[in-house]
Amino acid sequence: MYKTHTCGELRRSHAGQAVTLAGWVHRRRDHGGVAFIDLRDRFGLIQVVFNPDLSKETLDLVAEVRSEWVLQVTGKVQPRPAGMENPGLATGEIEIEAREVRILNPARTPPFVINEDKPVEESVRLKYRYLDLRRERMQRNMRVRHAATQFIRNYLSYKGFWEIETPILTKTTPEGARDFLVPSRLQPGKFYALPQSPQQYKQLLMVAGVEKYFQIARCFRDEDPRADRAYGEFTQLDVEMSFVNQEDILELAADLFTKLATVVFPEKKITRTPWPRLSHKEAVSKYGSDKPDLRKNKKDPDELAFAWIVDFPLFTEQTTTDFFHGSGSAKFAPSHHMFTAPHPDDIALLDSDPTKVRGLQHDMVLNGFEVGGGSIRIHQPEVQEKIFDLIGFSAAQKKQFEHMLKAFTYGVPPHGGIAPGLDRFLYAALGEKSIREVMAFPASSGGKTAVMDAPSEAGKKQLGELGLKTIA
């Protein structure tokens, strides 16, 4: 190991101990022959003092050191002289009196200042994301994100859920967005699609008898980015359960996110528990939005106002931007997705007036953002076929879903689920100005990946193997 302790863990009780630390130079100052270096690692900052009585060799090395160099320092923990303590720093009562220093790696001058939270143009931050992530605010966001993910895993495992991975190379899931296609080499002319969500697989896992499933799932949608939607991909907590009604799903998700918020954001308070529940109609007529911001004080960064919106109409009008690829004459698009069950009281309306049918859909709203959606699913093949008809699917399109209809003939439990967006939730809870602030390596709004600058051209040989030719 390069270090005996982390920079953040040392306290007054360690005084007198010899330690070896390793990290980055956060800041250096020179005062009358004494050099001070704030050494930083992921766990914190500590002041290291280099006194003039050190060997010339050591002092020469120290003289060279600049911000962001990587050092290993051996020395003794000392209480700081009286009056020199820094109450703003966890290690502020002590410092390291250095004996030896080793330069593990020098660093070029970074393109922006790492040790201050000054605004930097986002394109530069994304280009040098590995430096941006060294900054305190991004470290906090990554820490919070990890804590949230870990909490979710523990909570759901404890409740008997299994975490199961589903394929990334899959078939298009028509959930209303444009797909990313991946050409197949083994079957030229054919394509995989990256999943818009694991929707069909999670329902198949219910047929498989899993009963309680979750996945921290990556979803891919080729949609234009917005402040609350990153380009290309995002992460959602995908959940599915068998033998449940809508109430069970809402109860589990509200309990999980209430507890998660309490643990991960202890400084924040939840406006109302149990979370208010509004019908879609009520939300729209009362607040003019199906994702109302119910905070009492909209300027309070520590207020979290969760709400449920239920009783959505099952259908909306189909537009050309819907990617259901219906027959063209179709009028309806599912409000949520095509697997959402109609309200049992409204089944007869599917024939007479589909616009009046309510769906068993539920949206989770936080501070005016839709942070999750889900539904009770259709589990009767004949109802599923009827919905396909109303969306305007041709026989050939229905055939694409044969696997679902077939699976559903082998004993499918009533089931339902939800999928809160992890990035979206953290973005809303932290009050960040862009969802990219809670993602380690997001794509830019123009669709370029951070640091690596994809998409890029493919070579002739690669394209040839795939049977592709570019025409643009």
Could you list the residues that contact ligand ASP (CB under 6 A)? Answer: 197, 199, 373-375, 417-419
| Min dist. Cβ of residue 364 to ligand ASP (A) | 11
| Closer residue to ligand ASP in complex, CB, 95/238 | 238
| Closer residue to ligand ASP in complex, CB, 326/374 | 374
Q: Which two tokens stand for residue 150?
A: 């870990």
Count CB atoms within 10 A of the CB of residue 374: 26
| Cα 446 to Cα 460: distance, rounded to the nearest angstrom | 25
Our CA dihedral for 240, 245, 250, 256, rounded to 10 degrees, sits at: -50
| Min dist. Cβ of residue 421 to ligand ASP (A) | 8
| Min dist. Cβ of residue 175 to ligand ASP (A) | 6
- Complete DSSP assignment for 346-405: GTTHHHH-GGG-BB-EEEEEETTEEEEEEEEBP--HHHHHHHHHHHT--HHHHHTTHHHH
| Min dist. Cβ of residue 342 to ligand ASP (A) | 15
Count CB atoms within 10 A of the CB of residue 449: 18
β-pair type (94-105, 44-50)? parallel
| Closer residue to ligand ASP in complex, CB, 42/403 | 403
Angle CA 441–127–460, to nearest 5:
85
| Cα 324 to Cα 321: distance, rounded to the nearest angstrom | 9
| Min dist. Cβ of residue 469 to ligand ASP (A) | 34
| Min dist. Cβ of residue 193 to ligand ASP (A) | 14
| Closer residue to ligand ASP in complex, CB, 354/421 | 421
Count CB atoms within 10 A of the CB of residue 122: 15
| Closer residue to ligand ASP in complex, CB, 75/416 | 416
Element (H, E) at 213: strand 212-221
Under DSSP, the state recorded for 189 is T
| Closer residue to ligand ASP in complex, CB, 141/199 | 199
| Min dist. Cβ of residue 238 to ligand ASP (A) | 6
- The one-letter amino acid at 256: L
Q: Which two tokens stand for residue 67?
A: 């911000």
Proportion of the chain in helix, strand, coil states, percent, rounded to 5: 30, 30, 45
| Min dist. Cβ of residue 337 to ligand ASP (A) | 6
| Closer residue to ligand ASP in complex, CB, 292/359 | 359
| Min dist. Cβ of residue 286 to ligand ASP (A) | 25
| Closer residue to ligand ASP in complex, CB, 199/235 | 199
| Closer residue to ligand ASP in complex, CB, 50/332 | 332
Q: Is 286 exposed, middle or buried (0-12, 13-18, 19+ CB in 10 A)?
A: exposed
